[in-house]
Amino acid sequence: GQQLNQSPQSMFIQEGEDVSMNCTSSSIFNTWLWYKQDPGEGPVLLIALYKAGELTSNGRLTAQFGITRKDSFLNISASIPSDVGIYFCAGQRVSGGGADGLTFGKGTHLIIQP
Amino acid sequence: GAVVSQHPSRVICKSGTSVKIECRSLDFQATTMFWYRQFPKQSLMLMATSNEGSKATYEQGVEKDKFLINHASLTLSTLTVTSAHPEDSSFYICSAETWREYTDTQYFGPGTRLTVL
């Protein structure tokens, strides 16, 4: 199946630093989503983006839906230890029969060094 | 709100046996549920779309006779892995779709770890 191009694959940062990750696709999506997954658990929705150009914040998280509808980025400001985990972008298309299943990126593994 | 549960959370079975995994939306009704598979250190891959009262739609490369999906009610979908083999060992995650804040949103279950010996 298709996967989105997500980068970076992993990040080693110091606590308090800002984080930025992005996803690109060769095709258009109607919706872009960002999830966080902790080991052995299901993904938890962080931010959902529904309009091209949309910029949305959720606390220290900010995400944008690219104008071309083929990309998105997620920023985390002032990282804290609980931000550790794997972050996935996901794209969703809406067809005549309703919303489709999600296409995920390969994930960004965030590691915070004390 | 929007809680999705899966049962069991972890299962170990012998090669050749069948395993059933349940996905339930606890506080909402979901006409559509999705099943994903995640191998270690990899991303989630969509396996199939499950619609209440109709046949599931499978992604290319997913064997429908091996991964049986039943969406019996608006709150329950089941995935049965038939004649499981070691290569079927994976983390199986479901999601349920609901209308929230003027749009469809998928909420994920906690996943089921399947190990086939």
State the number of CA atoms in the 13 A half-sphere of B117 facing the CB. Answer: 4
pLDDT, tens digit (0-9, with 9 covering 90-100), for A68-90: 999 999 999 999 999 999 999 99
Q: Tokens standing for A85? A: 């985990």
* Lookup result for tokens 């992604």: B59
pLDDT, tens digit (0-9, with 9 covering 90-100), for B5-25: 999 999 999 999 999 999 999
Residues of A in CB contact (< 8 Å) with B are 1, 3, 31, 33, 35, 40-45, 48, 50, 88, 92, 94, 98-107
pLDDT at B106 over 80: yes
Instruction: Among A50, A98, A105, select the one facing B43 at the smallest CB separation.
Output: A105
Across chain B, mean pLDDT equals 92
Q: Which residues of B touch A104 (CB under 8 A)?
A: 43-45
What is d(CA A76, CA A22) in angstroms, rounded to the nearest whole number? 12
Q: What is the pLDDT of residue B105?
A: 82
Q: What is the pLDDT of residue B113?
A: 97
Q: Tokens standing for A111? A: 């590691």
Mean pLDDT in residue range B56-85? 94
Mean pLDDT in residue range B29-52? 92
pLDDT at B34 over 90: yes
Return the residue of A nearest to B43 by Cα.
Answer: A106
**Ranges of chain A whose pLDDT falls below 50:** none
Q: What is the pLDDT of residue B104?
A: 74
Phi, psi of B15 (to 5 degrees): -60, 135
Q: What is the pLDDT of residue B53?
A: 80
Which helix (H) or strand (E) covers residue B80, if one does? strand B76-81
What is d(CA A31, CA A98) in angstroms, rounded to the nearest whole number? 13
Interchain CB contacts (distance < 8 Å): A and B: 64
Q: What is the pLDDT of residue A59?
A: 96
Asked if residue B109 lies in contact with residue B23, where contact means CB atoms within 8 angstroms, the answer is yes
Provide the pLDDT confidence category of residue B102 given band limits of 50, 70 and 90. Answer: low
Provide the pLDDT confidence category of residue B63 given band limits of 50, 70 and 90. Answer: very high
| Separate counts of helices (H) and strands (E) for chain B | 0, 11
Q: What is the pLDDT of residue B100?
A: 66
